[in-house]
């Protein structure tokens, strides 16, 4: 077991959940509210120095009772040590977790991909929008277990939507505001732009 787990428990107490080992890797569960503090502590404490974020991803189990997990792979480059940090989220509840982009710029696209594929919102992410699917994709979140392998819409419906889409919808709001193409936007995108839906950081509750 990785010694960082005991140090975490000593510092954060009940915010640290269970810890286990699987195939030689240490996994530690962290409460959702303490995540940002725990990550900053792991990165900056001299004897731990997990300075490298390997990966951010999520796991949904086939067992519907089990919560969704957001998985962070951390590595200390100097000590050659790995630690896997997990946050559990109830699938029916609020799928929101603090973003770690302020700590690691590399988390930017990784968190966008988790949002795109699982619908998990990262609070404090500077630019949280879909990355692999297009911005107007309406079928949901593909890597969730309730998402059918062939997609929610029939092939005919997908073709119909693709043909009906406004070509300008392939640009992001940010780009359109640079290009002064606001007047040519479809009405719903105008509405979203007016609300300032993109590029703003939601206030923490």
Partner 1 sequence: MSKRTVELELATPGLDARGEPLRVPLGVAEPNLDAEHMLINIGPQHPATHGVLRLVVELDGETVVQVIPHLGYLHSGFEKLGEYRHYNQIIPLTDRTDYLSPMANNVGFALAAEKLMGITITPRCTVLRVIACEMSRIISHMVWLGTTSIDLGAFTPFLWAFQERERIYNLQEMWTGARLTTSVTRVGGLMADVPDDFVAGLRHFTRTFPKTLSEIDRVLTRNAVWVGRTQGVGVLTAGEAINHSLSGPMLRASGVAYDVRKDKPYLDYETYDFDVVVGEHGDVYDRYLVRLEECSQSNRILQQALDRLPDGPVNIADPRVILPPKSRAMNDMEAMIYHFKQVMEGVKAPVGEAYVGIENPKGELGTYLVSDGTAKPVRWRIRPPSFINLSALPRMAAGHLLSDLIAINASVDIVMGEVDR
Interface residues toward partner 1, by CB under 8 A: 22-25, 27, 51-55, 57, 59-63, 71, 73, 77, 80, 82, 84, 104-110, 113, 117, 130-134, 142-143, 147, 149, 170-172, 174-175, 178-180
Q: In whole angstroms, how close is the CB of 23 to partner 1 at the nearest point?
A: 4
Residue whose structure tokens are 């692999």 = 132
Phi-psi region of 50 (alpha: psi -120 to 50; beta: other; left: phi over 0): beta
Q: In whole angstroms, how close is the CB of 78 to partner 1 at the nearest point?
A: 10
Neighbour-count burial for 137-169, b at 16+ CB within 10 Å, e otherwise:
eeeebbeeeebeeeeeeeeeeeeeeeeeeeeee
Q: In whole angstroms, how close is the CB of 76 to partner 1 at the nearest point?
A: 11
**Cβ proximity to partner 1, 130 vs 192, nearer residue:** 130
**Cβ proximity to partner 1, 25 vs 33, nearer residue:** 25
Q: Give the number of C-alpha atoms closer than 13 A to the C-alpha of residue 24, restricted to the C-beta side.
A: 2
In eight-state DSSP terms, residue 150 is T
**Cβ proximity to partner 1, 33 vs 165, nearer residue:** 165
Q: In whole angstroms, how close is the CB of 13 to partner 1 at the nearest point?
A: 26
């Amino acid at each position: 077991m990785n010694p960082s787990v005991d140090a975490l428990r000593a510092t954060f107490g009940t915010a640290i959940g269970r810890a286990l080992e699987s195939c030689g890797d240490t996994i530690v569960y962290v409460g959702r509210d303490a995540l940002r503090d725990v990550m900053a502590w792991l990165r900056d404490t001299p004897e731990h120095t997990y300075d490298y974020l390997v990966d951010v991803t999520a796991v949904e189990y086939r067992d519907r009772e089990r919560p969704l997990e957001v998985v962070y792979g951390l590595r200390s480059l100097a000590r050659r040590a790995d630690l896997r940090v997990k946050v559990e989220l109830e699938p029916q509840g609020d799928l929101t977790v603090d973003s770690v982009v302020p700590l690691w710029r590399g988390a930017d696209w990784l968190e966008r991909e988790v949002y795109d594929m699982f619908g998990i919102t990262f609070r404090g992410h500077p630019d949280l929008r879909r990355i692999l699917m297009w911005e107007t994709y309406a079928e949901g979140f593909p890597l969730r277990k309730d998402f059918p392998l062939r997609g929610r819409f029939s092939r005919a419906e997908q073709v119909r939507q693709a043909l009906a889409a406004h070509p300008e919808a392939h640009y992001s709001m940010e780009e359109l505001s640079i290009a002064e193409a606001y007047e040519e936007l479809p009405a719903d995108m105008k509405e979203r732009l007016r609300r300032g839906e993109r590029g703003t950081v939601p206030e923490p509750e």
